[in-house]
Structure 1
């Protein structure tokens, strides 16, 4: 399924990714309404589907240009919007949220710049994937009110986030200027 065309829009990984984007306003709304467990459940389902769509795309060679654009967009929309909500509601320490939010915005905008230079997006590293996994876990844990463990996970995510952002910057710099 590597051929260009309209059909690449409707691969299984792309459909899963589109469902993640559709779920986003639903669990944000549920969270704002105080339905924390259902919001956390939908958020966790969304996070799990992020790993599933990547696995399916890789395992069954269902990569597409649309998917390479859509998947990171869904990731960043999810993480940034949930972080903004957690910041707004003061549910996580502000320094934690600002560091993580800064990294996510940096990667989002540098991905756009890389794309406009006509280059492919930088593939996520194992460290970046671990960072996202821990971040999703920390967010889900905080959504259901397990504060101590959730905060501990957020503080664990910070150094991993910073290291993966520096690694991403180096790779982006080399890709654009090398």
Structure 2
């Protein structure tokens, strides 16, 4: 979040940054979540939900970028979802698995994963539709 804020504040946003920043974030989450899963700290449902969501969003982003000739930046729902994933992983790492807060963040984070995936799919569809309609003009 900090690197995105700094890039916007100093007007240092680039097409390369729009690609590499979320990719770096996804790789970091992948490494953390993989280690937690391997050591049985997180359940398979959570592991696969996050992994498949990120894989689908990343792959879809590449496809959409090829079609519309630009990179779609992340949206607010995606940022909130990433924050909820980070918060959940932090709660796991510091050992708060038996608390009510842990359960609440777990379910909210899962729900946000599904909602953000749907949101990205709708946004991709709308962007492609808009691009094709305006490309013909």
What's the counterpart of residue 121 of structure 2? 169
1:127 is aligned to: 77
Give the ranges of 4+ consecutive aligned residues of structure 1 lying more than 4 Å apart after TM superposition: none
What is the rounded CA distance, in whole Å, between the counterparts of 1:66 and 1:98 in structure 2?
28
Residue among 10, 31, 34 paired with 1:60 = 10
Matches within 5 A, 1:23-42: none
In structure 2, do the counterparts of structure 1 residues 130 and 72 end up closer, same or farther at CA, with 3 Å as the change threshold?
same
* Residues 86 and 92, structure 1, Cα contact 8 Å, conserved in 2: yes
**What stretches of structure 2 of length at least 5 have no aligned partner?**
131-137
Structure 1 residue 107 corresponds to structure 2 residue 57: yes
CA contact (8 A) 1:131 1:161 kept: yes
Task: State the 1:135 CA deviation.
Answer: 0.7
Partner of 1:85: 35
Under a length normalisation based on structure 1, what TM-score does the superposition of the two structures give? 0.65
Q: Over aligned residue pairs, what C-alpha RMSD do you find? A: 1.7
1:138–1:150 Cα contact (<8 Å) kept: yes
Residue ranges of structure 1 left out of the alignment (5+ in a row): 1-50
1:126-148 deviations in Å (ceiling 9; x for gaps): 11111111111111121121113
- Name the TM-score, length of structure 2 as normaliser: 0.83
Partners of 1:147 and 1:158 in 2: how far apart?
15
> Are the counterparts in 2 of residues 92 and 151 from structure 1 also a CA contact under 8 Å?
no
- 2:107 maps to 1:155: yes
Q: 1:74 pairs with 16, 24, 37, which one?
A: 24
Report if aligned partners of 2:68, 2:127 keep a CA contact under 8 Å in 1: no
- Counterpart position of 2:135: none
**Count of aligned residue pairs for this structure pair:** 128
Distance 2:38 2:66 in 1: 32
Residues 151 and 86 of structure 1, relative CA distance in 2, 3 Å threshold? farther
